[in-house]
Amino acid sequence: MAAIPEEANGRARLLVKDEGILAGVELAREIFAHFDSQIEFIPKLSDGSSIRKGDVAFVVQGKARSILSTERLVLNCMQRMSGIATLTNRLVKHVEGTGVKLMDTRKTTPNFRFPEKWAVWIGGGKNHRLGLYDMIMLKDNHVDLAGGIEKAIIQTKEYLRALNQSLTIEIETRNLAEVDEVLRVGGVDIIMLDNMTPDAMREAVKRIGGRYKTEASGGITEETIREIALCGVDYISVGALTHSVKSLDLSLKMF
């Protein structure tokens, strides 16, 4: 507002300065439209596109003040989303052919969960629950405070029955003994195998025998993910998709 005349118009393009998977194009469109409905948005690439240095993701034209006012928000969102989509896509390729689905977690940035999970989806991953409201996950703390696996499951089923609600129930197990107890009690939909060795996971999957879906979680890296996928689990969740990702380098330049 200080430097640019109110009547000035301009054009800008989103320049890619990195390699990876593009994410946030549609969010950028919404940001520009929300701030100034007269801005013209011309996409050149779509969400999920493979990108390299020198590519142009989109062009915008309209009031120069509006473009400059929205520039940083658009870049911050797209850089982070593209970083998440890039890492997700790389890990998805590591588990190709195994039948495993890669999932995110709730280890997200406060007030930015939806765009981060959107980016995981763009990168080829699967969204886990969005919050505490759309699925029940009985983690180690819940089990311990409830007085054990059996009590945690029974009390959860009674809670849902009292509210006349039907939600997916997942329970975390830390060892084969806990897996066996869940199999004895029943009443869940997914069994999480948390921080288990590949050998323990293979044995757990064998004991479960397809009666419940299985999820591997805890400390999974790019180096270990394929070995874990080959253990026979249905899902692998990786918190690093959203809590340890490196943003891609993007720039908005007037021309």
Whole-angstrom Cα Rg for the chain: 22
Catalytic residue among 44, 72, 161, 206: 72
**Which of 228, 255, 221 minimizes the C-alpha distance to 90?**
221
Is 252 within 8 Å of 75 (Cβ atoms)? yes
The verdict on whether 161 is a catalytic residue reads: no
- Are 241 and 23 in contact by the 8 Å Cβ rule? The answer is no
Catalytic residue check, 157: no
Q: How far apart are CA 210 and CA 189, in angstroms?
A: 11
User: Does the active-site annotation cover 11?
Assistant: no
The tokens of 162 are what?
Answer: 């009292």
Which of the following is catalytic: 52, 139, 206, 253? 139
Catalytic residue among 55, 71, 170, 172: 172
191 Cβ contact list (under 8 Å, min separation 6):
170, 171, 173, 179, 182, 204, 208, 212, 213, 214, 215
93 given a catalytic annotation: no
Among the listed residues 81, 178, 86, 184, the one whose alpha carbon sits nearest the alpha carbon of residue 139: 178
What is the residue whose two structure tokens read 């390299």?
A: 52
Contact 191, 208 (CB under 8 A): yes
Q: Name the active-site residue from 47, 104, 194, 215.
A: 194
The catalytic position among 11, 17, 90, 107 is 107
Residue reference for tokens 């249905």: 234
Is 113 noted as a catalytic residue in this protein?
Answer: no
Structure tokens at 174: 């830390």
Q: Which residues are catalytic?
A: 72, 107, 139, 172, 194
